[in-house]
Structure 1
Amino acid sequence: MDQELVIVPEELVGVRLDKVLSELFSDLSRSYIQQLIKDKKVLINEKVEKANYKCRLNDQIHLTIPEPEALDVVPEDMDLDIVYEDDYVMVVNKPSGMVVHPAPGSMSGTLVNGLMAQAKNLSGINGVLRPGIVHRIDKDTSGLLMVAKNDLAHESLVNQLVEKTVTRRYIALVHGEIPHDNGTVDAPIGRDPKDRKKMTVIEGGKHAVTHFKVLRRFKNFTLIECRLETGRTHQIRVHMKYIGYPLAGDPQYGPRKTISSEWGQFLHAAVLGFDHPKTGKYLEFSAELPSYFEEALESLEKLG
């Protein structure tokens, strides 16, 4: 447990306590500092104050930073496809079939297990089972994920997701021949009351918007690119089923008769772009379709 003592300098007089600590401890995120204040880990002149306390000249701030919670997740050496890495972020090309983070009863073989062996540091904002995880994609969806290596990076990336400035484009193979070249699905998504393991378009659900454009048409199938405006659970799978073009190979939302695949739904997170948390520079990455996806498209092409 770290103990810190700082004296408020003249240039920070009249500034809120949480902002003062953000200035003095630039490696701590604002939300983490606010949590420390709520948990009474911050004392001003040996008294508890709120985050909006206006600091005075020569106030003594005692800050206690607890030891990080012990992590029960075991690092595992994996041949991860790291597309990009620096001191703040990683971009990983996740294979289909891999779960993103551990859960009770399934504590190994996940992307997080591999990341913990690969990276020295990961952000702790999302808790001990999801270090570094800013967003996720389904187990049987392949493609690009951004990972935060510290809390400041995590906060920046989450804010970009909230502000809808992150570029996320997916390639999907769907049943049916979509007649129009472009479309938008704007329909709320929530838990299916008939099956709690599934999501559905439902009144009162969370706002969800998916834009799509046709890339190629096959007999009884269409290859599309989807751009996410929001990031709801199973969003593309639910939205495409809702408009009558469910994903091929999808055991949960697709038709019973579909392309048989050990890889599940044909959905790939192909493009990911965001502003770097430190420099502000826009970065964009792409990942080619997995081989099984390409092979399925070649088979459809031969069928005419």
Structure 2
Amino acid sequence: MERIFTYFIPTSAEGSSILTFLKANGYSNNIIKNLKKTPDGILLNGIFRYVTAILHENDTLTVTLIENDIDTSIVPVAAPLDILYEDEDIYVINKAAGMAVHPSINHYENTLANALAAYNKARHTPMTFRCINRLDRDTSGLTVIAKHQLASARLGSAMKNREIHREYLGIADGYVDDCGTICAPIARTADSLMERQVDFEHGESAVTHFKRLKYENGLSLVSFLLETGRTHQIRVHMKYINHPLIGDFLYNPNDHRMMRQALHAYRLSFVHPVTEKQMSFTAPVPDDFIIL
């Protein structure tokens, strides 16, 4: 994979070094390190220059990002993929319920990473898997994946700065209030590597906004907007307010009205990491949500 980025230096960058300019534009130390090793990785007005070189207004800076390494830890395994959007920098994928994102001991070959590796192998394209917003195995819906280091660094920064906006749909037990905000810190439970709990003493800040969309047959269809992205955040918060998601084996283990936790990543919006265009996607509500 080769991506060439061309920058026309504005007045505001007059007198800055190439290093300062690149860092201000989202290039991590690791990316810059790799660029230094790339032949003609950094050209200033068509001439190779070190990152200490000084920029002037109307200069042309050309950066060539090359990634040809294949992540051999991910075995290509063909599986259905619902790719809603793809360009040179990112994928947006509607992940199916029951599919883990990353390989693990229990899910070595049946993950989103395996399926995407097979997709790229068929196109003779090297791939390093860089998922920006990881979903639980049994949560369906939208996830964005970066194709290269720069897209990953910029999207990772956007996630950290709460600039990637995510709306989830869930089916909760009982009559949930019209709307509200749950501010309750989350931490691991003492006896489990997987399970989380609300913990006001040791937990990390977690904020979930919710709005009930529908109530029927003792169930509430709820929209969730996340301010933070803690592991199992919605699932833990809904248990905390005594309206756990149905089908949730971990936080509502006696409920079997669905075969998985009733949670779907419905809408995703963010600024594209390269074009800087506003992107917005929705994933159709899955068939098993017809229960409501």
TM-score normalised per structure 1: 0.74
The answer to whether 1:195 aligns with 2:192 is: yes
> 1:134: Cα distance to partner?
1.4
Q: Say if 2:235 and 2:251, in contact at 8 Å, map to a contact too.
A: yes
Partner Cα separation in structure 1 for residue 189 and residue 197 of structure 2: 5
Q: How does 1:105-124 map to 2 (within 5 A)?
A: 106-119=107-120, 124=128
Give the match for residue 302 of structure 1: none
Q: How much has 1:207 moved relative to structure 2?
A: 1.1
Distance 1:77 1:41 in 2: 34
Amino acid at match of 2:188: R
Name 2:271's counterpart in structure 1.
Answer: 275
Does the CA contact (< 8 Å) of 1:123 and 1:148 recur in 2? no
Q: CA deviation at 1:261?
A: 2.7
Change (3 A) 1:36 1:279: closer
Question: Does 1:236 find its partner at 2:234?
Answer: yes
Partner of 1:8: none
Tell me, which stretches of 5 or more residues in structure 1 are unaligned? 1-11, 43-52, 58-64, 125-130, 298-304
Secondary structure of 2:107's counterpart equals coil
Determine helix, strand or coil for the equivalent of 1:153: helix
1:217 counterpart SS class: strand
Distance 1:287 1:188, change over 3 A: same
Q: Which residue of 2 aligns with 1:220?
A: 218
Preserved contact between residue 67 and residue 148 of structure 2 (Cα < 8 Å): no
State the one-letter code of the partner of 1:272: L
What are the superposed Cα offsets for residues 63-100 of structure 1, whole Å, 9 maximum, x if unpaired? xx998475132112222001111111111001100000
| Secondary structure of 2:252 counterpart | coil
SS in 2 for 1:197: coil
How big is the shift at 1:249?
0.6
Q: 1:285 aligns with which of 271, 277, 281?
A: 281
- In structure 2, relative to structure 1, the CA distance for the partners of 1:14 and 1:163 (3 Å cut) is same
Distance change (3 Å), C-alpha of 1:70 and 1:209: closer
Shift of 1:122: 7.0
CA distance in 2, matches of 1:149, 1:69: 12
CA–CA distance in 2 between the matches of 1:141 and 1:265?
Answer: 7
Q: 1:133 to 1:192 in 2, by over 3 A?
A: same
The answer on whether the counterparts of 1:102 and 1:110 sit within 8 Å (CA) in structure 2 is: yes
Larger Rg: 1
Structure 1 residue 184 corresponds to structure 2 residue 185: no
Counterpart-to-counterpart distance in 2, 1:230 and 1:35: 31
State the partner residue of 1:301.
none
Please say if residues 14 and 54 of structure 1, whose CA atoms lie closer than 8 Å, have aligned partners that are also in contact: no
Q: Is the 8 A contact 2:184 2:205 kept in 1?
A: yes
Rounded to whole Å, the distance in 2 between the matches of 1:282 and 1:80 is: 24
Change (3 A) 1:192 1:35: farther
Q: Which residue of 2 aligns with 1:251?
A: 249
1:168 CA displacement: 0.3
Task: Write the distance in 1 (CA, Å) between the matches of 2:246 and 2:126.
Answer: 35
For residues 66 and 96 of structure 1, what CA distance do their matches in structure 2 show?
Answer: 31
* Structure-1 residue corresponding to 2:206: 208
Question: Do the aligned residues in 1 keep the contact of 2:98 with 2:137 (CA within 8 Å)?
Answer: yes
Alignment of 1:20-169 (within 5 A): 29-33=27-31, 68=69, 71-104=72-105, 106-119=107-120, 124=128, 131-169=129-167
SS in 1 for 2:195: strand
Mapped contact 2:93–2:142 kept (Cα < 8 A): yes
1:3 match = none
Deviation at 1:54, TM superposition (A): 5.1
State the distance in 1 between where 2:184 and 2:245 align: 17
Alignment deviations for residues 216-254 of structure 1 (CA, whole Å, 9 cap, x no partner): 012322110001111110000001111111001101001
Deviations 1:35-86 (CA, angstroms, capped at 9, x unpaired): 669xx979xxxxxxxxxx95589xxxxxxx9984751321122220011111
Deviations 1:178-211 (A, max 9, x none): 2x31100111111011433201111221111100
| Structure 2 CA distance for partners of 1:14 and 1:55, relative to 1, 3 Å | farther
- 1-side partners of 2:175 and 2:143: how far apart? 30
State the 1:17 CA deviation.
Answer: 7.2
Contact 1:248 1:254 in 2 (8 A): yes
Percent identical: 39
